Structure 1
Amino acid sequence: MVRKRKSVHCIGCSRPTKSVTRYCKDCRPAAAHPYVQQVDNMITFGGLTFTPEQARHLADAIHDTIEEA
Protein backbone atom coordinates (compact mmCIF):
# COMPACT_ATOMS: atom_id res chain seq x y z
CA MET A 1 0.00 0.00 0.00
CA VAL A 2 1.40 3.38 -1.00
CA ARG A 3 0.28 6.47 0.84
CA LYS A 4 0.06 9.68 -1.11
CA ARG A 5 1.65 12.72 0.50
CA LYS A 6 -0.85 15.45 1.35
CA SER A 7 -0.32 18.91 -0.04
CA VAL A 8 0.73 21.64 2.37
CA HIS A 9 1.02 25.37 1.85
CA CYS A 10 4.40 26.73 0.79
CA ILE A 11 6.16 28.69 3.53
CA GLY A 12 7.11 31.37 1.00
CA CYS A 13 4.02 31.97 -1.11
CA SER A 14 1.22 29.73 0.28
CA ARG A 15 0.87 27.72 -2.97
CA PRO A 16 0.20 24.00 -2.47
CA THR A 17 3.29 21.79 -2.42
CA LYS A 18 4.08 18.20 -1.52
CA SER A 19 7.73 18.92 -0.75
CA VAL A 20 9.01 17.80 2.65
CA THR A 21 10.85 21.14 2.87
CA ARG A 22 7.45 22.92 2.74
CA TYR A 23 8.70 25.17 -0.07
CA CYS A 24 7.43 25.13 -3.65
CA LYS A 25 10.04 24.83 -6.41
CA ASP A 26 10.04 28.61 -6.98
CA CYS A 27 10.53 29.56 -3.31
CA ARG A 28 12.91 26.77 -2.20
CA PRO A 29 16.25 28.20 -1.01
CA ALA A 30 19.38 26.44 -2.21
CA ALA A 31 20.26 25.42 1.36
CA ALA A 32 16.85 23.84 2.11
CA HIS A 33 16.99 20.10 2.57
CA PRO A 34 14.87 17.49 4.34
CA TYR A 35 15.67 16.85 7.98
CA VAL A 36 17.42 13.66 9.02
CA GLN A 37 16.23 12.25 12.33
CA GLN A 38 16.67 9.13 14.40
CA VAL A 39 13.41 7.81 15.83
CA ASP A 40 13.29 4.51 17.72
CA ASN A 41 16.53 3.25 16.13
CA MET A 42 15.23 4.10 12.65
CA ILE A 43 16.51 6.90 10.40
CA THR A 44 13.98 9.19 8.71
CA PHE A 45 14.89 11.34 5.73
CA GLY A 46 12.63 13.09 3.26
CA GLY A 47 9.54 11.29 4.49
CA LEU A 48 11.20 7.86 4.17
CA THR A 49 12.23 5.56 7.03
CA PHE A 50 15.35 3.38 6.93
CA THR A 51 17.11 0.95 9.19
CA PRO A 52 20.59 2.17 10.15
CA GLU A 53 22.12 -0.25 7.64
CA GLN A 54 19.85 0.95 4.81
CA ALA A 55 20.65 4.58 5.67
CA ARG A 56 24.37 3.78 5.58
CA HIS A 57 24.01 2.19 2.12
CA LEU A 58 22.05 5.21 0.89
CA ALA A 59 24.71 7.60 2.20
CA ASP A 60 27.44 5.55 0.50
CA ALA A 61 25.52 5.54 -2.80
CA ILE A 62 25.03 9.32 -2.63
CA HIS A 63 28.71 9.85 -1.85
CA ASP A 64 29.81 7.58 -4.72
CA THR A 65 27.52 9.42 -7.15
CA ILE A 66 28.94 12.78 -6.11
CA GLU A 67 32.49 11.53 -6.61
CA GLU A 68 31.61 10.33 -10.14
CA ALA A 69 30.20 13.73 -11.14
Structure 2
Amino acid sequence: MKKKFDKKEMSILALEELLKDVGKVSFIENKRAVHTNSNSLEMHKTLQELSKDVNGNNDKLWKTLL
Protein backbone atom coordinates (compact mmCIF):
# COMPACT_ATOMS: atom_id res chain seq x y z
CA MET A 1 0.00 0.00 0.00
CA LYS A 2 1.43 3.36 -1.01
CA LYS A 3 1.59 6.09 1.59
CA LYS A 4 0.08 9.42 0.59
CA PHE A 5 2.23 12.43 1.43
CA ASP A 6 1.00 15.94 2.09
CA LYS A 7 2.70 18.98 0.53
CA LYS A 8 4.93 19.60 3.56
CA GLU A 9 6.19 16.01 3.59
CA MET A 10 6.82 16.11 -0.17
CA SER A 11 8.80 19.34 0.17
CA ILE A 12 10.90 17.88 2.96
CA LEU A 13 11.55 14.69 0.98
CA ALA A 14 12.49 16.68 -2.13
CA LEU A 15 14.80 18.90 -0.08
CA GLU A 16 16.50 15.86 1.45
CA GLU A 17 17.08 14.34 -1.98
CA LEU A 18 18.53 17.58 -3.35
CA LEU A 19 20.87 17.93 -0.39
CA LYS A 20 21.98 14.31 -0.73
CA ASP A 21 22.70 14.95 -4.41
CA VAL A 22 25.04 17.85 -3.71
CA GLY A 23 26.78 15.87 -0.99
CA LYS A 24 26.39 18.47 1.74
CA VAL A 25 24.66 16.23 4.25
CA SER A 26 23.25 12.76 4.60
CA PHE A 27 20.04 12.14 6.50
CA ILE A 28 19.33 9.51 9.12
CA GLU A 29 15.97 8.10 10.25
CA ASN A 30 14.96 10.95 12.55
CA LYS A 31 15.73 13.60 9.90
CA ARG A 32 18.63 15.14 11.81
CA ALA A 33 21.49 16.10 9.56
CA VAL A 34 24.88 14.45 9.80
CA HIS A 35 27.26 17.05 8.48
CA THR A 36 30.17 15.99 6.32
CA ASN A 37 31.77 19.30 5.48
CA SER A 38 33.62 22.11 7.24
CA ASN A 39 30.65 24.48 6.91
CA SER A 40 28.37 22.31 9.02
CA LEU A 41 27.23 25.13 11.32
CA GLU A 42 26.30 27.32 8.35
CA MET A 43 24.53 24.39 6.68
CA HIS A 44 22.64 23.64 9.89
CA LYS A 45 21.37 27.24 10.03
CA THR A 46 20.37 27.05 6.37
CA LEU A 47 18.47 23.81 6.99
CA GLN A 48 16.67 25.41 9.94
CA GLU A 49 15.61 28.37 7.80
CA LEU A 50 14.49 26.15 4.92
CA SER A 51 12.51 23.91 7.24
CA LYS A 52 10.65 26.99 8.52
CA ASP A 53 9.80 27.92 4.93
CA VAL A 54 8.32 24.47 4.26
CA ASN A 55 5.43 25.30 6.60
CA GLY A 56 3.40 26.98 3.88
CA ASN A 57 5.84 28.94 1.75
CA ASN A 58 7.14 26.51 -0.85
CA ASP A 59 7.90 29.25 -3.39
CA LYS A 60 10.49 30.78 -1.07
CA LEU A 61 11.97 27.33 -0.42
CA TRP A 62 12.49 26.56 -4.10
CA LYS A 63 13.80 30.04 -4.92
CA THR A 64 16.33 29.62 -2.12
CA LEU A 65 17.43 26.24 -3.48
CA LEU A 66 17.73 27.52 -7.05
Higher helix fraction (1 or 2): 2
Coarse TM-score class (shorter-chain normalised): 0.3 to 0.5
> Which structure has more strand as a fraction of its residues?
1
What TM-score does the superposition give when structure 2 sets the normalisation length?
0.32
Structure number with the bigger relative contact order (C-alpha 8 A, sep ≥ 6) is 2
Q: Tell me the TM-score normalized by structure 1.
A: 0.31
* Greater gyration radius: 1
